[in-house]
Amino acid sequence: MTDTLILALAQLNPIVGDVDGNLARVRAARAEAARQGADAVVFSELVLSGYPPEDLVRKPAFQRRLHAAVETLRAETADGGPALFLTTPWREGDKLHNAVLLLDRGEIAGKRFKVDLPNYGVFDEKRVFDAGPMPGPLVFRGVRIGVPICEDIWTPDVVECIAETGGEIILVPNGSPFEVDKPERRLQLAVARVVESGLPLVYVNQVGGQDELVFDGGSFVIGADRTMRVVMPGFREAIAITRWSRGADGKWDCAPGEIAHAPGRLETIYDAMVLGLRDYVNKNQFPGVVIGLSGGIDSAITAAVAADALGSDRVRTVMMPSPYTSQDSLDDARQCADMLGIRYDIVSIEPAMKAFKTMLAPMFAGRNSDTTEENVQARARGVTLMAISNKFGGMVVTTGNKSEMAVGYSTLYGDMCGGYNALKDVYKTTVFELCHWRNQHHPQGALGPKGRVIPERIITKPPSAELKPDQKDQDTLPPYDLLDRILEGLIERDLGTEELVAEGNDPAIVQRVWRMLELAEYKRRQAPPGVKITSRTISRDRRYPITNAFRG
C-alpha cells in the first residue's frame, strides 16, 4: 500500500474512428506522464474510439480494431511505466459496454462499465451500449479508486455505491459537450457528489469538435473539503500532473495545482465556435473554407471565426452583388476582408438573375414579382459558392444564425447551401454581442489578426438580405430582441404560446413566431451541421415531426 500517488490527467482531442491516431495520442500522453514521474494516466470518456462513436461502435470490425489497440497498450504497461485508466468500448460476452480498463504491469487489472446511459438531447447511448452493474472501486497500488463514467455522477447512486464499498478517490472520465453555463452545472454536480461521499473527485473532460458537438475540456480536481485543487484550461489539449497523499486520518488529498483562467460567457461561445469549425475542417481534411461575404453582420463574424480557427490564408470570401446590393455593403465587405487579411473576390450574380428571368418569363407571364425572384438570387449565390468549392476544394461555410434558421428566414439551396455553419445555434442578439467582443479581444490561440476585425458600420446598420429595394429584416420579422426572447421560450424552455403571452408578450406576435418555427422544420432537416452552443439546438436536441397538425 502506498501513501502517495501521482496521477496525470490527459485532456485530449481524439478523432472518432481514428483508432491508430487515438492510440498514438494515448501513447504520447503516457510518455509525457512517465517523463513527469506519474504513477497512472486518466483519460476522458471513450478516448480510444473517440466520442460519441454513435452506430460506428456497433461495427464488428471497429470493435476488433479497438480490442487490438487495447492489447497493444496492455503489453506496453509491462515496462513499469505509468498505468492507464483507459476508456474504450469493450465487448464482454454478448454485451458491448462503455468501459474504463485499468491497464497495469502488462495486465488488464480491472474493468468497470458505465451504468447510467444517457438517452436524451444529443445522447443516444442506450441504442449502442449495454449498461453495466453498479460498480465498486478498482484497486490500484493498494488504493481503492472509483471510476464512474460521465453520466454516472449526474445522480447519486453510483458514487454512493463506490463510497459504501470502500472507495477512497473518485476518477470521472467524461465526454461532456459544451453549452452555455454548463461548466457551472458540472461543478455543482461534482460538489454534490463530494459532499455525499466525503471523497475527493477528479473530473477529466474531452476537448475538441465532433460534428455539431464541441467538448470544452476544463477538467478539474475537487478536494474532499470541496475546494478546487486543479482546473485545466478550456478548449485546448493539456496534461496536468496531480500529486496525492494520504493523511494521518487515512484520507486522500490532492496538492493545490494550477487554476486556469475562467472565461466569460461570450468568450466561451466564441471559443466553441472557433474550435468546432477548426476541428470540422481539419478532421475532415478540407484545405480551407469559402464564405459568401455580404457586408452584413452574420457573414462578418463567420469570417472572423474562420480566420481565427484556420488562419487568414485558408479563408476565401466572395461578394456576390445583385442590382439591390448597396455601395455600403460592397465597401463594408471589402473593409472586413482587409481587416481580417483574407482573400476577397467579387462575382456578380446579375447575369444569372437575367438568365433565370428570361428562362422563366413565358411561364411567369402575368404574375408579379415576389419571394420567388428573391429566392432565385439566394440560389444563384449558393450555386456560385458551391462551384468555387468544387473547383478549389474549400468547404462552404453558411452564415445563417439561430434566429433566422428557427423561423425559416432562409432559402433552401441558397444561403443554406454549404457544409457547416458556425452560427447555427447562435441567436442574432448574441451575434451582435460577439462582434463587439471580438473587436475588443484576441482569443487565446486565435490564428486571425489582433485588434478590430469587423467594421463598425456592419454592426450598427439595420440588417438586410438586400433581395429587393430598401429591404430590412424587420419588414418580415419582429425586432430581434423580441424575436429571440420568444424563440428562447419556445425552444430552450419548451413553453407554449399561452405561457409566453402570460409573460407579457404580444399574443399575435407569439402566435406568428410559433407558426414560423413549426413551418420551418422541413428546412432545418436539410441544413448543414453547426456548433451546439445553447442547451437546446434546433437539430439534434429538438426533433419535431415535419408533418405536424398540432396547433398551440
Q: Where are the beta strands (DSSP E) in 73-137?
A: 83-92, 95-104, 107-113
Listed in sequence order, the residues at least 6 apart from 337 whose beta carbon sits closer than 8 Å to its beta carbon are 293, 303, 317, 343, 344
- Cα separation, 488 vs 492, whole angstroms: 5
**Phi and psi torsions of 204, nearest 5°:** -110, 115
User: Got the DSSP string for 37-67?
Assistant: T-SEEEE-TTTTT-S--GGGGG-HHHHHHHH
In the DSSP assignment, the letter for residue 198 is -
pLDDT at 468 over 80: no
- Cα separation, 516 vs 512, whole angstroms: 6
358-to-351, 361, 375, 382 alpha-carbon distances in Å: 11, 5, 16, 20
Instruction: Note the pLDDT of residue 470.
Output: 74
pLDDT at 177 over 80: yes
Instruction: Note the pLDDT of residue 456.
Output: 95
- Nearest alpha carbon to residue 394 among 282, 285, 286, 281: 286
What pTM did the predictor assign?
Answer: 0.94
Residues serving a catalytic function are 45, 114, 150
Q: How confident is the model at residue 462 (pLDDT cuts 50, 70, 90)?
A: confident
Report the DSSP pairing between strands 289-292 and 395-398.
parallel
Listed in sequence order, the residues at least 6 apart from 463 whose beta carbon sits closer than 8 Å to its beta carbon are 296, 297, 428, 472, 473, 474, 480
Instruction: Note the pLDDT of residue 466.
Output: 65
Instruction: Note the pLDDT of residue 550.
Output: 80
On whether the CB atoms of residues 18 and 91 are closer than 8 A, the answer is: no
- Nearest alpha carbon to residue 204 among 238, 166, 246, 178: 238
Q: 458 by DSSP, 3-state: which?
A: helix
- Nearest alpha carbon to residue 180 among 228, 129, 219, 216: 216
Mean of the pLDDT values across residues 47-73? 96
pLDDT at 161 over 80: yes
Mean of the pLDDT values across residues 130-148? 95
Instruction: Note the pLDDT of residue 326.
Output: 92
Mean of the pLDDT values across residues 327-350? 97
Which cell is 326 given? 448597396
- Nearest alpha carbon to residue 342 among 380, 386, 397: 397
**Phi and psi torsions of 181, nearest 5°:** 70, 5
Question: pLDDT (tens digit, 9 = 90+) per residue, 178-213?
Answer: 999 899 999 999 999 999 999 999 999 999 999 999
Which cell is 354 given? 437575367
Instruction: Note the pLDDT of residue 472.
Output: 78
- Residue 278 buriedness (CB in 10 A; 0-12 / 13-18 / 19+): buried
Mean of the pLDDT values across residues 416-427? 96
Sheet holding 228-231, edge to edge: 138-140, 143-146, 169-174, 201-205, 220-222, 228-231
Domain extents in the chain: 4-254, 266-472
In the DSSP assignment, the letter for residue 475 is G
**Phi and psi torsions of 84, nearest 5°:** -125, 125
On whether the CB atoms of residues 329 and 354 are closer than 8 A, the answer is: no
Instruction: Note the pLDDT of residue 471.
Output: 74
Supply the CATH classification number for the domain 266-472: 3.40.50.620
What torsion do the CA atoms of 102, 103, 105, 107 make, to the nearest 10 degrees? Answer: 100
- Residue 552 buriedness (CB in 10 A; 0-12 / 13-18 / 19+): exposed
Instruction: Note the pLDDT of residue 544.
Output: 86
Instruction: Note the pLDDT of residue 552.
Output: 64
- Cα separation, 447 vs 315, whole angstroms: 11
- Cβ neighbour number for residue 227 with a 10 Å cutoff: 13
Query: Is CATH 3.40.50.300 what the domain over 4-254 is classified as, yes or no?
Result: no
3-state percent breakdown (helix, strand, coil) of the chain, nearest 5: 40, 20, 40
In the DSSP assignment, the letter for residue 529 is P
On whether the CB atoms of residues 214 and 540 are closer than 8 A, the answer is: no
- Cα separation, 76 vs 29, whole angstroms: 13
- Nearest alpha carbon to residue 536 among 234, 125, 181, 218: 181
Q: How confident is the model at residue 464 (pLDDT cuts 50, 70, 90)?
A: confident
Q: Where are the beta strands (DSSP E) in 347-413?
A: 395-398
Q: How confident is the model at residue 538 (pLDDT cuts 50, 70, 90)?
A: confident
Which cell is 162 given? 463506490
First to last CA, the chain: 64
- Partners of residue 7 on adjacent β-strands: 40, 242
HSE toward the beta carbon, residue 214, CA cutoff 13 A = 33
In the DSSP assignment, the letter for residue 211 is T
Q: 551 by DSSP, 3-state: which?
A: coil
Instruction: Note the pLDDT of residue 21.
Output: 97
- Cα separation, 85 vs 88, whole angstroms: 10
- Cα separation, 428 vs 409, whole angstroms: 12
The residue whose grid cell reads 475537487 is 222
What torsion do the CA atoms of 204, 210, 214, 217 make, to the nearest 10 degrees? Answer: 20
